[in-house]
Structure 1
Amino acid sequence: MKAISVLGTSSNAGKSWMVTALGAWLRRQGVRVAPFKAQNMSNNSYVTLEGGEIGRAQAVQAIACGMRPIAEMNPILLKPSGKGTSQLVLLGRAGEHIAAVDYYQHIESLWLTVAETLEFWRDRCDLLLLEGAGSPVELNLMQRDLVNLRPIVHLQGRWLLVGDIEKGGVFAQIIGTYHLMPAIAQNLGLGFVVNKFRGDLRLFNDAEFHFHKHMPNLPYLGVLPYENDLQPESEDSLCIEAESKGSGAKIAWIRFPHLSNSQDSQPWQLDLGIATCWIDQVRDLIDAQVIILPGSKNTLSDLQWLWSTGLASAILEAHQQGVPIVGICGGYQMLGQVLRDRQGVAGNAGEIRGLGLLPMRTEFMEVKQVRQVTAIYQTEQHTDRWNAYEIHMGITEPINNLDQSPPMQPFLQVDDAGTRRDEGWQSDRVWGTYLHGIFESPQVRQSLVQLAKIANYQPAKILWQAHQQQLYNSMADLIETHLDLSAVCRYLA
């Protein structure tokens, strides 16, 4: 097995993008390639078929590489839950919430897990495509490195460096990063890429001359133009990709302080007549035709924030005016009457009043529910079946709703390891579900549009997963067109 690590000069330089594109391109060359990120910090997570939890970015990369996502692609996942703590997910299994200072005391034992997982891959692929995190030369953190230079030095592989011209100072970014690396790591350089160029690429024609004066031994692979239509989901729930997109009827997504799994909004981007808007202020709800409460990594804290900002009252008022409300995972729990976390297993401890839109209550338990299922959504004319998953620590149960008018009905059904069961609840223009990925169903999106009485809506003619495959192939085309990948080919020969 050979190994290439994609490093970045900073966070959001394009490491995840490059691993996805390079994986798709290598797959087309007949290379058995697998993605790997030793340590990821993100609340955007994915559930593997075995019930393991990994970063969404590694799941996307696996699919681009033609592989099924597994826990060994992301052995350490940190899910921030507020107040300087994160839930530690080790080889797919959720563990305790841990403070940063305590986490760093276990670096060497965690490195053993990373090293053992690297050995797992040695006879399972031709190339392991690693992704770094942030910058590899944060001088105050390098001695605690698990994800940037240490893994690729351990494997004696090669690295590519990605610089972000959009941030400015790209020469200083790349040249400075290279010269701050220790010599043992400098010698493993395969080349570097300038990313996110906007405008006329000819204006950058003399870049190689300037780079070569300061880094004569590191090949310049080229510059990539920024293509807005070729941006897969990001691992960062609060990044630019979670901003407003599209035009038409406004679907307002609540941007919780501890937002998780923001990618649930993305299938709407395929449709016409819909504007996906992330909001955190009452005034932005005024013209919303649908309101969606997404996932949260600290549900009680985010629900308290919803009440304190006035958003909770605004949501209830919008519902009274006929606006449909949808809750997903943590947002689903908030739709009930009461939420109780006696031990603080999911974030803040305590009990808090829910929005009261559905007659149910949630009790948080230490055992985390992590499963992949087949979702089944039926209408009189059509039945959609697709893969979805749930990740939550709460148990939600209905409260006697004999007086509820109209009464609650199951939202949809799932096939869970061969057992078919009801999942989620709906009543009076309110939908609630634990499932991530519900909007990958065109019929679910169409039903919500009809419920909201939205006009001028045009559903996409392509399914979300097919669209994603087209996206990965187009990303591979882009790097093939604009980059000199001969150094990669020589290394693999």
Structure 2
Amino acid sequence: MKALAVLGTSSGAGKTWMATALCAWLRREGVRVAPFKAQNMSNNASVTPDGGEIARAQVVQAEACGLTPCVEMNPILLKPSGPMGSQVVLLGRAQPHQSGRDYYRDFERNWALVRDVLEGWKSRCDVLVLEGAGSPVELNLMDRDLVNLRPIRQLDGRWLLVGDIDRGGIYAQLAGTWNLLPAEDRARGLGAIVNRFRGDIGLFPNPADWLAPHASGLPVLGTVPFRPDLQPEEEDGLRAEDEDRGEGDTIAWVRLPHAANLSDCQPWWDDAGVRTRWTADPAVLGSARAIILPGTKNTLADLRWLRARGLDRAILAAAERGTLVIGVCGGYQLLGERLSDPSGVAGDVGDEPGLGLLPVRTEFRAPKIVRPVMAQCDGERWCAYEIHMGRTASTAEIEPLHIVEENGQPRAEGVRRGRVWGTYLHGWFESPRLRAKVAQAAGLVAHRPAARLWGEKRQDVYRAMADHIAEHLDLAPVRRYLGL
């Protein structure tokens, strides 16, 4: 097995995107390829078919490889929850929260876990695409960094370095990273990639000539223009341009401080006649046709934030006027009558009244519920999933929101009270038929849903990403290393 790593000059340089594109390109080349990220810090998570929890980014990369996602693709997931630190997920199973200091005390144990998983991949694929995190040359962290250089050394792999020209200082990014790398690690480099170029690429000729005097031995493999239509999902959240997308009547998504699984919004971008806005402005909520409260990694903290900003009053007033209000996962919990987390297993400790729009109460306790389900709407079926610490129970007779299938058996899921809906399902909006029903309920008269499921559309995006890097990068060094 060969290992090909995608390192970045910083967080947000485009490592996830580039690793996904390489996975799709290698799959097209007939290579048995799989994705891997030793440690991911993200609240955008997904569920494997066997009920494990991993970062959403590695699920997307598995799709690009044509593989079923598994926990070995992301053995450590850190889910930030606020001042108390992060919930640690090891091989798909949630562990207690840890502070950064406590997590680093377990470094040797965590590295042993990663090392064992890496060794296990040797019999399962021909190429393992490793995604780094942040920068590989955070000098104060290099001795306890288990996601960047250590996995490459463990597998005697090679790396590509991605820099983001969109944020400026591209030559400083590349030269600085190169010169701070230890000599043994520089020797493993195949080249640098200038990512996210916007505008006339003819105005940026020969970057290798400018870089060479400052990073001798680091070739530049090419410049990749930014394509807004080739963004399958964001690992860390939303880009600034994604905060307000589309034209038409507005669906307002509440910008909770600990919002999770922001990709639930993305299928709406494929539709016409609808505007999606992420907002913390009561006035925007007041004028929206629908309000969606997304998932959150710290429900009680975000409930307090809603009240401090006056957003609770705006949501209650909108519901009173008949605006469609939908809560997804943590957002569903917020709409209930009461939330209780006596041990802080899901974030802040507390016991407080919710918004009171749905006749349910939520108590947070272990173990975490992580399960895939089959959603359905008007004959259309698609995969969705649940990830939550909360147990939500009704306080009065309720109308289920819909019927899902779990392990081949139907069951009721969610709650509907008039024009206030709650569901635990992430991926619920992936169905065009479901989005059409939501739009009809919200009065989005100009809404026209896309023709296909969002998951099917992503496969087209992966293929186009492979075409894009093949057009703009010199991949000969990669071919030589992999023997293609």
TM over 0.5: yes
Where does residue 252 of structure 2 map in the other structure?
A: 252
Matches for 1:59-458 after TM superposition, within 5 Å: 59-237=59-237, 239-240=239-240, 242-377=242-377, 382-401=378-397, 408-458=398-448
Identity of aligned residues (%): 57
CA distance in 2, matches of 1:75, 1:204: 39
Q: TM-score, normalised by structure 2?
A: 0.98
- Describe the superposition over 1:159-202 as per-residue Cα deviations: whole angstroms up to 9, x where unpaired: 00000001111001001101100011001001110001111111
Q: CA RMSD in A?
A: 1.1
Q: Identify if the C-alpha distance between structure 1 residues 43 and 272 changes in structure 2 by more than 3 Å, giving closer, same or farther.
A: same
AA matched with 2:75: P
Q: Secondary structure at the match of 2:414?
A: strand
CA distance in 1, matches of 2:441, 2:222: 49
Q: 4+ residue stretches of structure 1 with deviation over 4 A?
A: none
Contact 1:345 1:366 in 2 (8 A): yes
CA distance in 2, matches of 1:369, 1:237: 23
* Deviation of 1:266 (Å): 0.5
Q: Secondary structure at the match of 1:345?
A: coil
Contact 2:15 2:132 in 1 (8 A): yes
Q: Secondary structure at the match of 1:306?
A: helix
Contact 1:77 1:89 in 2 (8 A): yes
CA distance in 2, matches of 1:368, 1:219: 47
AA matched with 2:95: G
* Deviation of 1:367 (Å): 1.1
Contact 1:153 1:184 in 2 (8 A): no
- Describe the superposition over 1:343-386 as per-residue Cα deviations: whole angstroms up to 9, x where unpaired: 11111111111111111111111110000111123xxxx33211
* Deviation of 1:307 (Å): 1.4
CA distance in 2, matches of 1:136, 1:255: 31
Contact 1:272 1:460 in 2 (8 A): yes
* Deviation of 1:242 (Å): 4.8
CA distance in 2, matches of 1:365, 1:216: 55
- Describe the superposition over 1:147-168 as per-residue Cα deviations: whole angstroms up to 9, x where unpaired: 0111101111100000000111
Q: Identify if the C-alpha distance between structure 1 residues 462 and 238 changes in structure 2 by more than 3 Å, giving closer, same or farther.
A: closer
CA distance in 1, matches of 2:238, 2:271: 23
CA distance in 2, matches of 1:387, 1:50: 13
- Describe the superposition over 1:274-305 as per-residue Cα deviations: whole angstroms up to 9, x where unpaired: 11100112122132110000000001111111
CA distance in 2, matches of 1:72, 1:340: 33
Where does residue 47 of structure 1 map in the other structure?
A: 47
AA matched with 1:393: M
* Deviation of 1:308 (Å): 1.6
Q: Secondary structure at the match of 1:315?
A: helix
Q: TM-score, normalised by structure 1?
A: 0.96
Q: Secondary structure at the match of 1:286?
A: helix
- Describe the superposition over 1:432-490 as per-residue Cα deviations: whole angstroms up to 9, x where unpaired: 10010110111221111111112111111222112100001111110010100011100
Q: Secondary structure at the match of 1:397?
A: strand
* Deviation of 1:16 (Å): 0.2
- Describe the superposition over 1:96-143 as per-residue Cα deviations: whole angstroms up to 9, x where unpaired: 000011111111111000100000100100000000001111111111
Number of corresponding residues: 483
Unaligned runs of 5+ in 2: none
Contact 2:53 2:370 in 1 (8 A): yes
* Deviation of 1:311 (Å): 0.4
AA matched with 2:44: N
* Deviation of 1:239 (Å): 4.2
Where does residue 405 of structure 1 map in the other structure?
A: none
CA distance in 1, matches of 2:376, 2:401: 10
